[in-house]
Amino acid sequence: MRMTRMTLLAAGAAVAAALSVMRRQRAKQRKRAEYAELRRRKQQERRERLQKAVELVLGPGPEKGRTLALSDRETVLLAQCKTTAKLHEALRSGEATVLEVMRACAKQGLLTCREDDGGTNCIVEETVAEAFQAAEHWDAQVRAARADGQLDALFDRLPLLGVPLSVKEMFVQKGTDQTCGVSKFLYWFERFTLPKGWPGCEARAAPLPGGAYAGSPVDGHCVALLRAAGAVPLFRGNVPQLLLLPESANAIYGVSSNGVDRSRGVGGSSGGDAGIVQCGGAVMGLGSDVGGSLRIPGLFCGLAAFKPTSRRVTFIEGGSLHSFKKYGTHTMIPPVPGPMANSVDCCERMMRAWCREARSLAPSMYE
């Protein structure tokens, strides 16, 4: 009798364990299906957004026969304005406008860095419409300053005026998503509660017409500082899953390749932005570094990039990065925002502008 009772208890425990395993497996299957649907939705939206960006860059005109091929004027602009110093020389002299440079960079980026048409797949999101509006604003500022004889004061006050910027996908930027290459974090600002105390946590962006995803309601700290210095975010670059690999590939956006040789990579984790700057889609890139995430892509793509001293630039980001604390990543060795560009001078300008704006917005943090 005793053996029978023990046998029944053991059998019951085995059945309970088997049922528990089955429930976990079913839960995993449901999660996989959910994430697969989120990826499908994101990929469809991405293709539609990039196609709209192409139409915006090309401007009005007959649909047939239009291509993203650069004009002679745009080719010259890209060659002349590869650095911030040369860009500002052209703006000061009137040889170029911010809108002209922005359109040339947008066209070059969409031509070489999209997923389709043999591109490098470095661009995951674009903000071309917003960038063109900002470019028109800065052109108006330049014209007014030239008329008043205040050009020097304007460029001193805005050291990154009109500079096309590529932003790493991990940074919070108004109107965009932030996944860090993880399917679970797709549509973060729609599916999760914003952390208490994070800017914009009480003013979530309303869905766009048609129910489209509105993205973050505000800029994160790093992007806001660069905007305040005059930089214009144009593209967002690809990253590896969880930002922890020296490559740029994930299940959401795919693999990014090098513009010089498609069989080679762009490094990581700031590789997407390095590829965009390398091809001329932006003059500067905003990345981050823990163990080489800026330096490795810089090496792979022939750019100047470095890791600033930890906490040299305040790193206040919300969104899915808060979830990293749960797994213990980016805690012992904190990530450091940093620049990448075609010259060391550009990186220096970006750091100087960054720190100056940070002091003006939060001086107590630097005393």
User: Residue 182: its pLDDT value, please?
Assistant: 93
**What are the pLDDT digits (tens) for 276-332?**
999 999 999 999 998 899 999 999 999 999 999 887 777 766 566 655 555 555 556
Rounded to whole angstroms, the Cα distance separating 179 from 82 reads 30
Q: Are 294 and 267 in contact (CB under 8 A)?
A: no
**What are the pLDDT digits (tens) for 146-165?**
999 999 999 999 999 999 99
pLDDT at 13 over 70: yes
- Output the 3-class SS for the chain: CHHHHHHHHHHHHHHHHHHHHHHHHHHHHHHHHHHHHHHHHHHHHHHHHHHHHHHHHHCCCCCCCCCCCCCHHHHHHHHHCCCHHHHHHHHHHCCCCHHHHHHHHHHHHHHHCCCCCCCCCCEEEECHHHHHHHHHHHHHHHHHHHHHCCHHHHHHHCCCCCCEEEEECCCCCECCCCCCCCHHHCCHHHHCCCCCCCCCCCCCCCCCHHHCCCCECCCCHHHHHHHHCCCEEEEEECCCHHHCCCCCEECCCEECCCCCCCCCCCCCCCHHHHHHHHHCCCCEEEEEECCCCCHHHHHHHCCEECCCCCCCCCCCCCHHHHHHHHHCCCCCCCCEEEEEECCHHHHHHHHHHHHHHHHHHCHHHHC
**Bridge partners (DSSP) listed for residue 254:** 250
Q: Which residue has the tokens 């996989």?
A: 32
The catalytic residue among 256, 257, 293, 320 is 293
**What are the pLDDT digits (tens) for 239-254?**
999 898 999 999 999 9
Any residues with CB less than 8 A from the CB of 163 and at least 6 apart, and which? 84, 87, 230, 231, 232, 283, 284
Q: Are 304 and 343 in contact (CB under 8 A)?
A: yes
**For residue 237, which of 286, 196, 203 has the smallest C-alpha distance?**
286
The mean of the pLDDT values for the chain is: 87
User: Residue 93: its pLDDT value, please?
Assistant: 95
Burial of residue 135 (CB within 10 Å: 0-12, 13-18, 19+) is: buried
The catalytic residue among 269, 270, 288, 320 is 269
Q: Structure pTM? A: 0.91
pLDDT at 357 over 70: no
pLDDT at 2 over 80: no
Longest Cα–Cα distance in the chain: 103
269 as an active site residue: the answer is yes
Domains of the chain in sequence order = 37-365 (3.90.1300.10)
In this structure, the number of other CB atoms found within 10 A of the CB of residue 209 comes to 6
The catalytic residue among 168, 183, 270, 307 is 168
